[in-house]
Structure 1
């Protein structure tokens, strides 16, 4: 009861704020909740300028850090809010007034257990960025006592760092609002059960997991370190180094990046770099993150992407990262190839094989829906084709085919749109995916060609062989339990169970030997 009263009171404040910005959208909710639509119409202000998505972004900004983050999550859910609103929410800037530098210094000293003068030779009083969860100060790491004396400018610059500090009290604020979001998702399903397909509870959980990761800066440090390892030896994509000695749950110290924002094309040219070369680097690095590694920076807007003094790409802010398992990467590659080749039947088959579309759906109808999405692309110049928008349109037709939301694809789709925006800023006449075509073709040959499929089959068989001893042990254990001191069963039942177990073991052995013979024969044919 207390929870309900608390959340209802908070809901009143939210509704008033949304109404003041004309962001309640009574016409849009009329079919879902007619009573709520009438109430929303009463609260909504008139004549507020801007598109619906812009008005919603302004309201979320006024509601504070949790709602800013919620808006960023919703920007990946075009299936929930529509493409236009999702696009406007993607522009929602995560900026708040800074908290006092004295508080930042206090947090650093408490977290790292040393005076700030011992940790840093200098610490800038003014933050360079202040967001909903943390703010960033530039600093210079103190030199060890055994390394005093004259120092070159290059050595000093190597000690320059960016120090990220969590806002005080941010955990409590998010905890309160997360409880509200969970309560609202439960209420929405109670009022309108058909919303279950959109998995509002899972949206809230993804939001909660994202925030939890962002509020432990050790996790962000780990993400930066993993990304750096993935690009070790690749000078075209420079991930800043983590200073682990000055990193904790509430403090993150990274190598300072000096450079030009990736969308400042005139400055990039003035520095002597070709924007087309930068675009090629951005394209290949994004492809490698998604397909080669399955681990990608999911917030690569221009404010987080720089061209450094060597003309190479340098990302910052690793709080939001995405992962794709190998099966999802294969699905994505096959689906994109099917669209680009106009093979809509293959696109449909990929969805059914992945289990994204239930087997009882009509594959011919889904093929027709895929054609409706893909055909308009064939009449456009290559540089006007947006793979991110294609994926968004594909996800938007899911309701009629009972396709459950795929959170990992939604995050990727948002990242693709952001990457395409960067590409258009650098050169609107070049399609970044076309630049990555050689990489895509090589990856497809390596991972989706006949040789790769044979290797996959062999790997599956080897995995089956690895699990065989465990299956046999479990069978013997169950037989012993049943015959000695296990469940009281009729002897005929035990005999049937054991006979069935023996038959299953025989079938499993024969199946594996047969499959091995088939695959070895196929491998011989391919190699030969």
Structure 2
């Protein structure tokens, strides 16, 4: 209540509060802005405006950190080092530099005290989540304790530059045969958990359409190439860049795509791929029953779900696109509508899936900006079909049957005993059925 009189809406008040609480809470807001299944669009839009900005670290502190981490003075490790940072964020800041052999690099230096501050903030968040779950059915329903735990793991991973370096190398291995994809090399001699040195990527921002045009870049081919990179990450490699916003992509000469910033990544295991395939199959085929089955299988909820009502809501959404050919089906708006329905029916999707779907929507948005005729559903369809074929192959059915064998054996052993007990209770007249009337006047 009260506060800044210029803030008129609850989402604006929430953003202002998170900014006042500091970087950890701002990052929490940024994470929540991607959770279409948890928050209404008005909150998401406002939270997405939170900028991970922070005061610059004094250059003397940067110099001391590098010397302590690398065991040598900054001047020995680097031939040149720009004292003015390229960018500053809550976790650290980046500087342009060159190695002694003249290689152009970007050096990220973690902010002093960042780990200690994050530890303190996360302890507070865990406490708040626990209290909320004990006193609020809504907090329990949306599993805020689990939500904070996931945020904890994600943020701690971003604090470790060694992990980010290994992520970059994994992407480089995955795209080793792709000449049109550039992943910056990591220079391990000048990299630690607090300092990360990577090859500098030169290029045009993917949103600078005028510069792309002037450079003679084929935007239609570029949009398709970008989408294929993302789909390869998800469906072939099972390891994807989870922060694919325009600031992390650069277009190099000849239309090569350079990726940077590998602190936030996602893994796609076999189960998640199957879940995604089932969900996207329901969307792309506009099959309501399949979509409902997928959502009920995926979604966690603390209360019964009205399947018929869920089916009606999804049918209403799909009916808006029923006359459109597959090549014109807009996946982003469709998924956004679906998330709204998921929220209304109190279903909470696994965070690994919501992160993946949100990145899918972002990828489609960037591709459409490059080429308004681009359609992600068309690019997705071969992958979804392949997944569905794998799901229904004899090997997949044999695997599912194998997993069910212990339950079937238990049922075969215990069912006769349970039936005998039930019949015995009926014979003795000792079977009791509890009836608890509700909503009746006393």
Q: What CA distance in whole angstroms lies between the structure 1 residues aligned with 2:391 and 2:364?
A: 33
On the 8 A contact 1:121/1:139 being kept in 2, the answer is yes
Deviation at 1:80, TM superposition (A): 3.1
On the 8 A contact 2:133/2:143 being kept in 1, the answer is no
Give the 3 Å change call, closer, same or farther, for CA 452–236 of structure 1 in structure 2.
farther
Higher relative contact order (CA 8 A, sep 6+): 2
Match in the other structure for 2:349? 405
How do 1:53-92 residues align onto structure 2 when only pairs under 5 Å count? 53=11, 56-92=14-50
Deviation at 1:316, TM superposition (A): 0.8
On the 8 A contact 1:68/1:132 being kept in 2, the answer is no
How do 1:57-456 residues align onto structure 2 when only pairs under 5 Å count? 57-143=15-101, 156=102, 159-353=103-297, 361=305, 363-378=307-322, 386-398=330-342, 401=345, 403-434=347-378, 436-437=379-380, 440-441=381-382, 443-449=383-389, 453-456=393-396
| Larger CA deviation: 94-103 vs 382-391 | 382-391
Give the 3 Å change call, closer, same or farther, for CA 224–270 of structure 1 in structure 2.
same
Deviation at 1:254, TM superposition (A): 0.9
Q: What CA distance in whole angstroms lies between the structure 2 residues aligned with 1:298 and 1:48?
A: 31
Match in the other structure for 1:515? none
Q: What CA distance in whole angstroms lies between the structure 2 residues aligned with 1:330 and 1:295?
A: 15
Q: What CA distance in whole angstroms lies between the structure 1 residues aligned with 2:27 and 2:310?
A: 34
Q: What CA distance in whole angstroms lies between the structure 1 residues aligned with 2:48 and 2:343?
A: 23
- Superposed CA deviations along residues 41-81 of structure 1, whole A, max 9, x for unmatched, are xx2443437x6545644553343211221111111223333
On the 8 A contact 2:165/2:186 being kept in 1, the answer is yes
May I ask how many residue pairs the two structures share in their alignment? 409
Q: What CA distance in whole angstroms lies between the structure 2 residues aligned with 1:352 and 1:56?
A: 31
Give the 3 Å change call, closer, same or farther, for CA 313–58 of structure 1 in structure 2.
farther
Task: Give the unaligned 5+ runs of structure 1.
Answer: 1-39, 144-155, 468-499, 502-528
TM-score, normalised with respect to structure 2: 0.83
Q: What CA distance in whole angstroms lies between the structure 1 residues aligned with 2:345 and 2:165?
A: 40
On the 8 A contact 1:237/1:281 being kept in 2, the answer is no
Deviation at 1:462, TM superposition (A): 8.4
On the 8 A contact 2:314/2:341 being kept in 1, the answer is no
Give the SS at the match of 1:92. coil
Deviation at 1:392, TM superposition (A): 3.8
TM-score, normalised with respect to structure 1: 0.70
Higher Rg of the two aligned structures: 1
Which of 46, 49, 52 matches 2:5? 46
- Superposed CA deviations along residues 218-260 of structure 1, whole A, max 9, x for unmatched, are 1111111111211111122221111122111101111110011
On the 8 A contact 1:296/1:323 being kept in 2, the answer is yes
On the 8 A contact 1:352/1:359 being kept in 2, the answer is no
